[in-house]
Amino acid sequence: MIPVRGYAGKRVAVLGLGRSGLATARALAAGGAEPLLWDDSPEARAKAEAAGFALTDLTRNTAFEDVACLVTSPGIPHLYPAPNRIIRRALECGVPVDNDIGLFFQSWGGPEWDDFDQAPKVVCVTGSNGKSTTTALIHHILRAAGRPTQMAGNIGRGVLDIEPPQDGEVLVLELSSYQTELARALTPDVAVFTNLSPDHLDRHNGLGGYFAAKRRLFSEGGPDRAVIGVDETEGMFLAGQLAQGPGDDRVIRISSGTKLEGFAWSVFARKGFLAEWRRGRQMASVDLRGIDGLPGAHNHQNACAAWAACRALGLSPKLIEGALHSFAGLPHRSQLVGERGGVRFVNDSKATNVDSAAKALAAFPRVRWIAGGMGKDGGIAALAPVLDSVVKAYLIGHSARDFALQLGETPHEICETMERAVARAAAEAQPGEVVLLAPAAASFDQYPDFEKRGEDFTRLVQALPGR
């Protein structure tokens, strides 16, 4: 646990009693604060009470008298489309609003570090797609190098729930836009921006607000090194804002598909090969095509981001290359879950938007595509340029019929359920093809989250006869 500093003897309200909320309450108490806990959900309140926490009704008009701060869970709206009523009341009372990420950076480091030979560091990863894989890959490389490391944030443990750092440790955090938008302190040593595509637009009042939330990771405290994906205009703009010019090696530009020349430091992948260039010289070249845990151009971008971050931490190219080959990938992200009669079954349930689904489809030449769920604005019309690889689509969930109308001449079948989609795709698939779950939609019509959707797909694949 990381005890929260700065609130000893003060009352701090905590709104939202999920994993991060309860961890925040414990960390506040460990730092000498008095946490006042509340959740709008009766079930969450009951679970907190069962865990031994006392509740304070923050909906009362006098709830924020003598309160030093309100700490809110990331999923609770604080601005758009409208602030939660409790957050609005805190704002009306002039009470600062923060989240666990802000408390963490406020509390990271202390007198005990004076005895360390090497101060611990923090690497933060944000972006639209690839955050989790990039975070896990950096963590994996550090472990392979023998460096003490922990992984937390939007993946793994809550950020205040980690163990106190060791001498020379590297903490790797995945941060969503919900987390970066509100945190009052953001001071990573290395910050990574993977890419940007439309997502969570209602929460951020449009693409500009979404990008602004991501950008705060780089503008609030200023990392020592910034790794920036420049395959979209927003990434190029961000790199340009951070660097003093092309010769500024504090910014490492990365790309999947574009050779980056003329910069002090760049890492890019083309035709399956990763290359690192620094001050006009090629420092490394790695063939990514045979790495099973990193299939497709989108994963090659993740490899570039992780490579750049680890090089910024001082790791050698040879060590990083070896670790890439031992990376098994993450569940629900281009995860190979079975093979049957020369047909591979790949679970990419995390592909909840059009951009991530497009990258998954582009990773394989012949695809039996399982898609559908709670479709997002625009449906799958934007996927038209990558549908050439789709042999047939098997559509499930609430958006199945809407998706069917947007598939044009691509063969498709409305299956409605995952069970029927897996059975039909497996029955029709030919050797050399891939049955790919890449829904391009949220899961909430049939599953509580994308993990449960991916687990159901995996269970059905593993139950197929003849595996």
Known binding-site residues for ATP equal 127-133
Q: What is the dihedral of CA 93, 94, 96, 97, to 10 degrees?
A: 50
Token digits of residue 396: 């499930």
Q: How many CB atoms lie within 10 A of CB 430?
A: 11
Long-range contacts (CB closer than 8 Å, 24 or more residues apart) made by 166-169: 166/120, 167/115, 167/116, 167/117, 167/118, 167/120, 168/116, 168/117, 168/118, 168/119, 168/120, 169/120, 169/121
Write a three-state SS string for 46-70: HHHHHCCCCECCCCCCCCCCCEEEE
Token digits of residue 293: 């845990």
Q: Which residue has the tokens 């709008």?
A: 40
Return all residues near 156 (Cβ < 8 A) that are at least 6 apart: 150
Q: How many CB atoms lie within 10 A of CB 453?
A: 27
**SS3 of 343, please?**
strand
CA–CA distance, 294 with 325 (Å, rounded to integer): 9
CA–CA distance, 454 with 347 (Å, rounded to integer): 6
Residue 272, phi then psi, degrees to nearest 5? 90, 5
How far is residue 337 CA from its own chain's centroid? 21
Going by DSSP bridges, is the β-strand pair 374-375/390-396 parallel, antiparallel, or unpaired?
Answer: unpaired
- Contact (Cβ atoms closer than 8 angstroms) between residue 394 and residue 421: yes
Where is the binding site, in residues? 127-133
CA 379, 384, 386, 391 dihedral sign is positive
Nearest to 275 by CA among 255, 295, 292, 293: 255
**Length in residues, the chain:** 467
Q: Any bridge partners for residue 55, and if so which? A: 37
**SS3 of 422, please?**
helix
How far is residue 38 CA from its own chain's centroid? 27
Q: What is the dihedral of CA 257, 260, 261, 262, to 10 degrees?
A: 160
